[in-house]
Amino acid sequence: MITLRKPKVVILGAGYGGLMTTVRLQKMIGVNEADIVLVNKNDYHYETTWLHEASAGTLHHDRVRYDIRDVIDRSKVEFVEDTALEINREEKKVILEKGEISYDYLVVALGGEPETFGIKGLKEYAFGIVNVNSSRQLREHIEYQFATYNMEEEKKDERLAIVVGGAGFTGIEFLGELTNRIPELCHEYDVDFHKVKIICVEAAPTVLPGFDPELVQYAVSQLERKGVEFLIGTAIKECTPNGILVAKGDEEPREIKAGTVVWAAGVRGNSIIEKSGFEAMRGRVKVEKNLRAPGHDDIFIIGDSSLFINEEINRPYPPTAQIAMQQGELCARNLAALIREKKELEEFKPDIKGTVCSLGEDDAIGVVYGKKLTGTKASFMKKVIDNRSLFMIGGVPLVMKKGKFKFF
């Protein structure tokens, strides 16, 4: 009797792309058709899109994460809690911190990392909004600065200065939460609100470059009203233990003293991509239309570590959860096709429904299906989007457990 070996699918990363691939594939594939292994460095998934809330302290970090085992079908998917270090494409295996794992088909969904553009001091002294632990560290650092300020005999006002580098969506969403949190912190730690400084430094000539100018104006005036000072057309040149050096154009850099510097000025692909020898641009692999890495019929790369070109403008789509989840859905269908030895794979066609940028719990801006929204309507829509992403992965039970229901 001949027993055919089942193909082994290894999915690296249980973020939006990897988890979506897993939950869709487990529904499509029977136990006898393939072995599915999901590898993630923690036993929980976190909602990256909510990390600005955990970072500011407006949402507890446990609210942004949930147990991966709660959403996978353990009769079909083996979960391995480990950190991937490198992909050996020739030997079709992944080197993990605690061992190695071979694959027939591999999905790389390891997300992105902060892009520091080689700017001196950022890695050492700036905080990032990257994962649950970095968010906790940032939140606790800000609280520590407030607590320490009061205990010092000689008051150092710069302790209460917070600089946010980058006025992209991450920077703006963090500022929205932070401006809601600061009055609470002032109350909790007996600090005069007027002593606190929040400065946002943006290199481009505008906040949220490329977004609707009317909505950008709304966001800027709302945040300015809550105390944010914007330095536009100004780049961070260096980060030091005492703050940052900034410059406008060719001007001499000047120092801004700050007890907290947050770097929110862009992402690049996971460093494993370059370490494993893939051809990449800022750590992201320009994938084929069926989401496979060029020259690799057995490797899919999705989410922030991939680069997919929008042919209408001949530029990459921005790395978003919206895209990562849609890629996960397609990746599962294409894996199922390969497992069933079908030759034709589907091509990825992003369906961009819009973009909503929150400005705190009760305010937002957005364009949804071409319609502009501001204020509570936009904020309502943001929570619908947040709940929808839970629903897509874990259905109604996950929405009931982790969803956002405080709509107004």
**Which helix or strand (DSSP H or E) is residue 261 part of?**
strand 260-263
- Position 141 contacts ligand FAD (CB under 6 A): no
Nearest approach, Cβ of 395 to ligand NAD (angstroms)?
23
- Position 265 contacts ligand NAD (CB under 6 A): yes
| Best CA proximity match to 160, nearest among 176, 149, 174 | 149
CA dist., res. 339 & res. 28, Å (int): 11
Annotate each residue in 347-366 with x if it binds ligand NAD (CB under 6 A) or - if it does not, as one string: --------xxx---------
CA dist., res. 69 & res. 289, Å (int): 31
Pairing of strands 285-286, 354-358: unpaired
Cβ atoms within 10 Å of 391's Cβ, excluding its own: 14
Nearer to ligand NAD (CB atom), residue 26 or residue 358: 358
Taken in order 301, 304, 310, 315, is the CA torsion positive or negative?
negative
Nearest approach, Cβ of 122 to ligand NAD (angstroms)?
9
Nearer to ligand NAD (CB atom), residue 191 or residue 207: 207
3-state SS of the chain: helix, strand, coil percent to 5? Answer: 35, 30, 35
Residue 171 touches which of ligand NAD, ligand FAD, none (Cβ within 5-8 Å per kind): ligand NAD
Of the candidate spans 14-22, 74-82, 160-168, 269-277, the one that interacts with ligand NAD by CB under 6 A turns out to be 160-168
- Position 111 contacts ligand FAD (CB under 6 A): yes
Which amino acid appears at position 240 of this protein? T
Residue 334 touches which of ligand FAD, ligand NAD, none (Cβ within 5-8 Å per kind): none
CA dist., res. 373 & res. 364, Å (int): 8
Residue 202 touches which of ligand NAD, ligand FAD, none (Cβ within 5-8 Å per kind): ligand NAD
Residues 6+ away with beta carbon under 8 Å from 113: 130, 267, 268, 269, 270, 271, 283
- Position 176 contacts ligand FAD (CB under 6 A): no
Nearer to ligand FAD (CB atom), residue 54 or residue 161: 54
Residues with a known catalytic role: 173
Annotate each residue in 302-341 with x if it binds ligand FAD (CB under 6 A) or - if it does not, as one string: -xx--------------xxxx-x-----------------
- Position 22 contacts ligand FAD (CB under 6 A): no
Nearest approach, Cβ of 390 to ligand FAD (angstroms)?
13
